[in-house]
């Protein structure tokens, strides 16, 4: 059996890094009173066609969609924001709170060409602030993103921001952009030629040098922004300046989702090569209303976990909880009487490994040594008969017989002495 292309098993030596990201996000988001939320992986397809947009690559090319046995059109979620908006409406979270703050971490699915940092099942950490139209909400979510990155010891990044205005301003700009690009149609890359028909703003994101050269003289979106859009963006910049958060204004930054308005931003890291965006987000004031909910201004972002992992693996040395005690038994009577010993270890939070094979003491001791453990507890016929335990110190090659009541004190005394010995030798 082969694993599906674009998916990946997360094994025990990697899961510690995932847990570190989760714990970091929990710590930072809790400081800002953002609450964790989990939404279903499966949603109705219409949720994404109505929110992300029919003319986007995600909807047209990348979604995993199917018809279930109830003849419903179902999609594996390709991103998190639409599901949060749907949950906000479904659970009527707007009734008791004027502002709702959420964060999430979970798998998303897109049929893309797999490469480093990009999988078909990938994971996103996201933050959503629902209920505030003020630029200070934009500033807060950006600050949370930078705090999480700093906690993960990722400081070599750059923040790019832009204002994409409201729908009317973008439509007016789009007409001007189309008029300009029409005379260069045959010189554009193939993807950009297709986008002329259905999503011209995405041409601004083209990675092709020739297309970017053509765009040098193209109309600029900023020239079509109204007073309110400019004020919102200028105020956000004032907030970022006051927080000493460095940023660059990228007037070609538009993001690939239809629901954005006003603020759009990305955080990039040059350690990742061409796939350098680790975080992207923006404001989506009209999304919830378009899905049948109340008029709710919102802003948020998402980080790609796989891309984060490519960076933090070199910055974080995980502390893994490994057992230091091996429990070897001999005979059925010993196996039946092992549980009081395990209870003591459990109650005192002492990790251990119980041998699950029916091997001799010699083979069990060999395995304990191979695992690099320090203590082996031997329980056989003699120990059962005399109601005691043989404790063998593997590194010192010595052993002693103790009662069950002495076990925890003996382990703790040995651990303290062993740590002091290590400190002296260092």
Name the binding residues.
79-81, 110, 124, 128, 255, 259-260
Distance CA 279, CA 12 (A): 26
Radius of gyration of the chain measured on its C-alpha atoms: 29
DSSP state of 62: I
Distance CA 112, CA 120 (A): 6
Q: Distance of CA 45 to CAs 38, 55, 80, 256, 273, Å? A: 19, 15, 14, 18, 33
Pick from 292, 286, 356: nearest CA to 328: 356
CA dihedral 344, 347, 351, 356 (to 10 degrees): 50
DSSP state of 3: P
Written as six digits, the tokens of 300 are: 């948020």
Residue 241's CB is within 10 A of a number of other CB atoms, namely 11
In DSSP terms, 44 is beta-bridged to 74
DSSP calls for 194-227: HHHHH-GGGGGG---HHHHHHHTTS--GGGG--H
CA 75-78-82 angle, to 5 degrees, is 90
Distance CA 309, CA 315 (A): 10
What SS3 state is found at 115? strand
Give the CA count within 13 Å in the CB-facing half-sphere of 139: 18
CA 322-325-326 angle, to 5 degrees, is 110
Distance CA 232, CA 285 (A): 13
Residues annotated in a binding site for L-histidine: 79-81, 110, 124, 128, 255, 259-260
Match 């910055």 to its residue by tokens: 315
Helix then strand then coil, % of the chain, to nearest 5? 45, 20, 35
Q: Residue 219: phi, psi to the nearest 5?
A: -55, 150
Contact 109, 117 (CB under 8 A): no
Written as six digits, the tokens of 157 are: 């990044």
Task: Tell me which H or E stretch contains 128.
Answer: strand 121-130
Pick from 321, 314, 325, 415: nearest CA to 377: 325
């Amino acid at each position: 059996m082969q694993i599906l292309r674009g998916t990946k098993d997360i094994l025990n030596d990697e899961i510690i890094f995932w847990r570190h990201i989760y714990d970091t996000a929990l710590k930072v988001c809790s400081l800002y009173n953002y609450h964790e939320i989990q939404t279903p992986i499966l949603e109705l397809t219409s949720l994404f066609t109505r929110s992300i947009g029919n003319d986007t690559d995600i909807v047209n090319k990348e979604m995993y969609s199917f018809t279930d046995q109830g003849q419903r059109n179902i999609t594996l979620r390709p991103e998190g924001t639409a599901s949060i908006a749907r949950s906000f409406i479904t659970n009527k979270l707007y009734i008791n709170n004027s502002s709702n703050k959420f964060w999430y971490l979970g798998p998303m699915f897109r049929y893309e060409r797999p490469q480093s940092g990009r999988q078909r099942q990938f994971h996103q950490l996201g933050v959503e602030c629902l209920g505030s139209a003020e630029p200070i909400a934009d500033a807060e979510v950006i600050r949370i993103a930078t705090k999480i990155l700093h906690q993960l010891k990722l400081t070599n990044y750059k923040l790019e921001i832009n204002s994409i205005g409201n729908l009317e301003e973008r439509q007016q700009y789009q007409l001007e952009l189309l008029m300009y690009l029409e005379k260069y149609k045959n010189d554009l890359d193939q993807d950009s030629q297709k986008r002329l028909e259905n999503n011209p703003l995405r041409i601004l994101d083209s990675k092709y040098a020739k297309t970017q050269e053509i765009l040098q003289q193209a109309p600029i979106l900023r020239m079509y922004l109204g007073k309110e859009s400019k004020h919102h963006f200028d105020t956000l910049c004032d907030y970022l300046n006051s927080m000493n958060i460095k940023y660059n204004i990228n007037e070609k930054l538009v993001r690939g989702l239809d629901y954005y308005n006003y603020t759009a931003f990305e955080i990039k890291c040059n350690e990742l090569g061409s796939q350098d965006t680790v975080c992207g987000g923006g404001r989506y004031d009209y999304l919830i209303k378009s899905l049948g909910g109340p008029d709710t201004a919102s802003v948020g972002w998402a980080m790609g976990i796989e891309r984060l992992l490519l960076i933090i693996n070199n910055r974080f040395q995980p502390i893994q909880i490994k057992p230091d005690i091996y429990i070897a038994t001999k005979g059925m009577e010993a196996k039946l009487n092992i549980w009081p010993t395990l209870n003591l270890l459990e109650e005192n939070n002492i990790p251990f490994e119980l041998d699950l094979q029916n091997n001799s003491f010699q083979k069990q001791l060999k395995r304990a040594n191979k695992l690099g453990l320090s203590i082996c507890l031997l329980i056989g016929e003699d120990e059962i008969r005399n109601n005691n335990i043989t404790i063998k110190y593997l590194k010192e090659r010595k052993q002693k017989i103790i009662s069950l009541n002495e076990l925890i004190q003996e382990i703790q005394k040995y651990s303290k002495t062993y740590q002091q010995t290590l400190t002296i030798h260092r």
